[in-house]
Structure 1
Amino acid sequence: MSRHRSWRPLVAAALLFASSGAWAASVLPTTYSGNFTSCDDLPGVGTWQGLGYSTGNPPAEGQSYNLGLPGQTITFNYTPPGQNQYLGFTSTMPMDYVVVKGGNAYNVFHYQPGVTSDTNLYSPDNASGGPAAVSHATFCFIPRPTGTKTADATWKRYTDWSIDKSASPTQIVMLDGDSHQVDYTVTATALTRQLYRIAGTITVKDPFSFGWNATAVVDTLQFNNSANQFVLQWTAQPGDTDTLSCVKPAPNADKIVLSCTYAFDLSSLSYPFLTSASGGVNAAGITATRGSGCGCGDDGGSGTQSYTFSATAPFSISANPNESYGDTFAIDDSMLPGSVDHSFALGSGPYVWTYPRPNPLTCNADQGTSTNTATGSWSTGANTNATASDSASVQVACRTVGVSKTAQTRYNRDYGWTPDKHVVVSQADAKVSGMQGCLPDPIASGDYAGNYLCNDVDVTLNAGGSYETVYRLAATRTIESETGFTVSGDIQVSWPADVSPVFSPSAPSDTLSFTGGGTQSIAPTCDPQTATSLHCSYSAALSGKLGGSNQATIQRVLQCYDAQNNASACGFKSYSSNQAAVAFGDPAVETDRCVTLTDLFNGTAGLNLGAGFGWTVQPLLCGSFAQFVTGDIDPDPGIVRSLNVAASWLPPANAGPGLSCEFMVPNVLTLNSDNGASKSDEAVLSVHVPELCANSGGCTYTQGYWKTHSKYGPAPYDPTWAKIGEDTLFFSSGQTWILVFRTPPKGGNAYYILAHQYMAARLNVEAGGSAPSQVASAIAQATAWFTGRSSAAPKGSARDTAINLAGILGAYNEGTIGPGHCSTSPATLAAGAD
């Protein structure tokens, strides 16, 4: 903190009041008689240590006298001019004494402190009652230090800029393909500050080398439009905080005892009045002293003398700054080409620049945040610059139109049904002369593989025999006709609630594309458009069951928006739906899709003696069907209704010599449709019982028949077995007849080969089959061969004999020789295979 001495404010105030040059001290003289010629004669002063001179004669008006140094003068004037009694003076050095002599006396004017001017000095009065005419004047002064100063005013203008960038609009929601213009506004704000510098020098001299030392300087600045005072100071006192830079130079020819430089740097931001100031005054208050023992009191005697004086300098502020920075604000926009896109000049405000975006924002290319930065630059000094930037962001949300559709097909179908009834006949029976309507190829697989399907079948039985019938019941469903082919569905166009699409045309188009080529256009029917959707439906008749796809397309009017959100049409965009598959599945309406399948066995009255019955094969048959039926077909286990045909059914009227020995067993399969129509197919068995006719030798069965028709099954029991007995021991084999039948001839064992044919031939004879002589002889030879022989495989001639006899008996059993083959049910054959 600066330490202020008590004399400083007094000095500063005195200097400011004196700065006009108008004040001067008038003092009352002391009158002395006699003559006065030099300052050494000053009464009461003793030896004068200062300087002094006498005019010698009355000074002339405006006469100047040198004070001992070039430029140091005193000038006298009479007031008013034209008389010689009242004298005034101005001097460059303060006068301590001025003596005016007139007549025989003189007046001593003593100035404390010394002054540089006064008026109305006069000599003592004479007899006239007024001041005597001035005869001469003497002026005495202690040489004082002098002070000069300069004051130069300069100012610099600095303008700093800030920038604000905005966009309009900032939030954009539009559909894909649309575009939107954006206006950007760049607003610049100028903050100007003026830096004023009042600078110069303060020079203190001791022109007469009178031993003066400058000890303090107070420099005060005041502008002409403000009472504010700004002060800088210096003192030779150690420890003071100086704000003036002053130096005491070594003795020099210019007699300078102190040199100071100063600068007041003031900102208009702190002192706004500066912007309208045109100038002011700068006054330096200077204190100088002369040391003790110098004999330098006011009277020229010894002691310490202090002298305060001032130096002033006016200054003026130019209208234009000496330097100016930031006068222009050059803007480079990141969106625009070029390094300077716009420039603001200081004073040309308002500083607002609005421009459109060069290319509108589009969806979907510009979806998201689009940020644009404007950067302004300005000079801050001769070689320095500053920048300021601001960004504006626009949020672009892109929406789209979705199109979805469905496709449902519909048609009607009429079915046709064909019943098919066949009798399953063994391969041997199918080759019997007289068979009709047999399919050319045998059954390929299953229990009855290798057997045949026939319409009319001749069956030969012995008088006590039976035939286990096997029927194949079949119904084939075919498509008779399909009509009413249509495709229909919905078309749904949707979009978010924050956009409003315009469609042209207002309804979508719909196109069917068929597999293999060709298209068909459909015109949908649409409901009124809502805020978020458009619903349409369609239906089209097709010429047939055509597959393909169905796609809807809607066309939207593209919108180009200006920055004020006004829209104009600017093209079209199409949106397509999914490819809805057009595929025909099940029909919507089916006629005769399902039928009832019934069967009537042996039900034609008068054709045979057996009991007939019918049953429902399938109560609801909805597809092609095939089933083999044999045995007990009644679902009620307590009721046995066999499909077996017995020889005993032969009507008595058909039995006897010369008669047919034949009866017919019809079987009818019937389809009943849902519209009341029916279709049927019949298969007929013609059963022959030749044994019951005159001169008939019956028929024979193969070994397979007899093996399966014992009481041990699995086929129905043939009572012929009772005449021999299944459990009777077969010769010396140690096995019963049925066990021998069931023992396979492993390794070609001729014992069992012959035994199987032998037992079958014996049972055929017991059943009524006539045996030719060679067969009877073979039976007798075989009986002798088995007697006393074990079941071990024979060898040599014994084996040859067995094989030969087995061949004869096998031909008899199979009907090659003898009365012929008895018809054998495929069910029996299948059971025997097991």
Structure 2
Amino acid sequence: MKRLGFLLGAGLALLLAACGGQMGGKPLSPAVAVPEGPRVTPYPDWKSGNADFECRQAVVTFDGAYKIDPPTSGTYPLDTYGHQVTVNFSPDGRYVDWSSNLAIAAVIVKGGPGANVYLYDPPATSGIGLRSPDHPTSGQIPAISHVAFCWEYRLSAEKTAETRYTRQYYWEIHKMGDRSELTLSAGQVFPVNYQVRVAVSRFEERDFAVRGTITLRNNTPIPFVVQSVSDLVSPDMPASVDCGPLPRTLEPGQSLSCTYQAPLPNKEARTNTATATYVRQGQERLRQVSATAPVTFGEPTKVVDGQVEVFDDRYPYGPLGSVAAGEAPKTFAYTLNVGPYPCGNQDTSYLFTNTASLRTNTTGSTATSSWTVQVRVPACAQGCTLTQGYWKTHTKYGPAKPRNSTWDRVGPKGEDTDFYRSNQTYYQVLWTPPSGGNPYYQLAHQFIAAKLNQLNGAATPPAVAEALTWAEGFFSAYTPSGPFSRTLTHQARTYASILAQYNEGYLGPGPCSE
């Protein structure tokens, strides 16, 4: 042990002796108020003897005594019940610190002709900087010759504190699609993209409580009678305690275990203190022993509706998935096909409504959110048109899905049917760019789209029908390499423009949704 600690203890002891003999029984830090400690009584002429004799001389009520002589640092057994004391003497032998697992009522420090008696009330388990009184002639602190410990046996107490509370989650769901209106031709299928967002709207915490055990142990040779046990949660909330029938006698080596529980208003940090009142068997003087434990809350011990299962009533593959509270918010993205619908003698409207829902895992609570797409299907005689870009991508080669089955009506091989004298298929011609402004491909692209629109049920105004007839004669007579006169090139581009207006909905029945 460093001498500085002993000098601090010694200086403190001298200061307290000058102020009435009070000295702390715990280590002190600079600039910290001195805690209340033992009462120090100096005996200038001390009569040495065995430990029992010296404790009686100190006028101490005690059950046991132990004397360390000569003063040697170390750990010493106090009895056969596992109690011991550890002492550390300063290098100059004038100061001693001590600690014990048994509450000590008095410590006698002998040095020179006198002794200091340190009386602890209530009994303590440690002390620092203890010393003998000044020498009466020299005024110096004599070296310690021996130390005696006096104790009165008491019950010991310990306790646990286990917190509990419930957390319940409340959920919300929101569904939206990337389309709310569509115009479809008869038999057309259109993919709509959806997103469903699931989140925790709030959570509620309740049923706060603390519970635990209070254990009283009689690690002494004396029987004690436990009269009562109480438990208090700060600031002033009593707990219900169950110890079985009381009073109860605890023989040496026996223990008593009690349970307690208390509801709490919230999960603020608190202190929980258990107090037992008892007497020595055959005596009436009441004694008390206490034990404390912190009341702190962590994660909830019970979770209600901590997870949900998410569904869509039109999703063909089962649930969309599950979401735990720790994963929320979470968004599910998926695609559903709208259509096909039949056409009628006049424009027909349809509503495509689908509903996403969630179901909680504990209470089975549900929440829903719907999205509606309003679909217009033109009259059978009218239909609607789609652009060449649509027809290029909705083939069996993709990339868009689903394939439009109208391609099957072009010819026996669908999009792989030979296109007139081009030595290419319809699909290949549609994907061949008109390099250098080639009028053949400029017209062919719009012609193929217009034919598919016509086959798909779109009405063809006279100007469009004329353009289609002229184009069929053109493709029957020419190949992509021509040659094309200026007049022929002009005619091909003119009819290509008419067909483009038709395909894009500026001429004829109007555009379908893509």
TM-score class, shorter-chain normalisation, is 0.5 to 0.7
Deviation, 1:124, is: 3.1
2:310 aligned to which of 331, 355, 358 = 331
* Residues 145 and 503 of structure 1, relative CA distance in 2, 3 Å threshold: same
Greater relative contact order: 1 or 2 (C-alpha under 8 angstroms, separation 6 or more)?
A: 2
SS at match of 2:512: strand
Deviation, 1:245, is: 5.0
**1:10-25 correspondence to structure 2 within 5 Å:** 25=37
2:332 aligned to which of 314, 333, 353 = 353
| Counterpart residue type for residue 95 of structure 2 | Y
Residue 147 of structure 1 is matched in structure 2 by: 157
- Cα-to-partner distance string for 1:653-712 (whole Å, 9 max, x where unaligned): xxxxxxxxxxxxxxxxxxxxxxxxxxxxxxxxxxxxxxxxxxxxxxxxxxxxxxxxxxxx
Correspondence 1:205 to 2:217: yes
| Counterpart residue type for residue 138 of structure 1 | A
Residue 52 of structure 1 is matched in structure 2 by: 64
Deviation, 1:35, is: 0.9
SS at match of 1:110: strand
Residue 70 of structure 1 is matched in structure 2 by: 81
2:47–2:54 contact (8 Å) kept in structure 1: no
1:370–1:396 contact (8 Å) kept in structure 2: yes
1:91 aligned to which of 84, 100, 108 = 100
Structure with higher strand content: 1
Correspondence 1:121 to 2:130: yes
2:224–2:280 contact (8 Å) kept in structure 1: no
- Cα-to-partner distance string for 1:549-577 (whole Å, 9 max, x where unaligned): xxxxxx96585324xxxxxxxxxxxxxxx
CA distance in 1, matches of 2:97, 2:271: 27
* Residues 20 and 402 of structure 1, relative CA distance in 2, 3 Å threshold: farther
Deviation, 1:349, is: 5.4
Q: TM-score, normalised by structure 1?
A: 0.36
1:102–1:132 contact (8 Å) kept in structure 2: yes
1:137 aligned to which of 147, 172, 177 = 147
SS at match of 1:96: strand
Aligned residues: 359
| Counterpart residue type for residue 34 of structure 1 | W
Residue 310 of structure 1 is matched in structure 2 by: 291
**1:612-691 correspondence to structure 2 within 5 Å:** none
CA distance in 2, matches of 1:288, 1:197: 22
Deviation, 1:292, is: 9.6
**1:478-557 correspondence to structure 2 within 5 Å:** 503-505=459-461, 557=509
Residue 372 of structure 2 is matched in structure 1 by: 394
Deviation, 1:118, is: 1.2
1:377–1:386 contact (8 Å) kept in structure 2: yes
- Computed over aligned residues only, the root mean square deviation of the Cα atoms, in angstroms, reads 5.0
* Residues 290 and 32 of structure 1, relative CA distance in 2, 3 Å threshold: farther
Q: Which structure has the greater CA radius of gyration?
A: 1
* Residues 168 and 56 of structure 1, relative CA distance in 2, 3 Å threshold: closer
1:186 aligned to which of 192, 196, 202 = 196
CA distance in 1, matches of 2:330, 2:369: 17
CA distance in 2, matches of 1:143, 1:348: 57
What 5-or-longer segments of structure 2 have no aligned partner?
Answer: 1-24, 30-34, 382-456, 466-506
2:26–2:126 contact (8 Å) kept in structure 1: no
| Counterpart residue type for residue 560 of structure 1 | C
2:358 aligned to which of 376, 384, 388 = 376
Deviation, 1:188, is: 0.4
SS at match of 2:129: strand
CA distance in 2, matches of 1:19, 1:76: 14
Correspondence 1:108 to 2:108: no
Deviation, 1:74, is: 2.1
* Residues 314 and 52 of structure 1, relative CA distance in 2, 3 Å threshold: farther
* Residues 293 and 344 of structure 1, relative CA distance in 2, 3 Å threshold: closer
- Cα-to-partner distance string for 1:699-740 (whole Å, 9 max, x where unaligned): xxxxxxxxxxxxxxxxxxxxxxxxxxxxxxxxxxxxxxxxxx
SS at match of 2:37: coil
Structure with higher helix content: 2
Deviation, 1:216, is: 4.5
- Cα-to-partner distance string for 1:225-247 (whole Å, 9 max, x where unaligned): xxxx788644xxxxxxx3x5554
CA distance in 1, matches of 2:28, 2:168: 38
CA distance in 2, matches of 1:314, 1:91: 27
Q: Identity of paired residues, percent?
A: 19
Which deviates more from structure 2 when the two are superposed, residues 155-164 or residues 332-341? Answer: 155-164
| Counterpart residue type for residue 211 of structure 1 | F
Deviation, 1:340, is: 2.3
1:344–1:351 contact (8 Å) kept in structure 2: yes
- Cα-to-partner distance string for 1:269-326 (whole Å, 9 max, x where unaligned): x76x9xxxxxx9x85433333459966xxxxxxx6344353344798969xx999887
Correspondence 1:28 to 2:40: yes
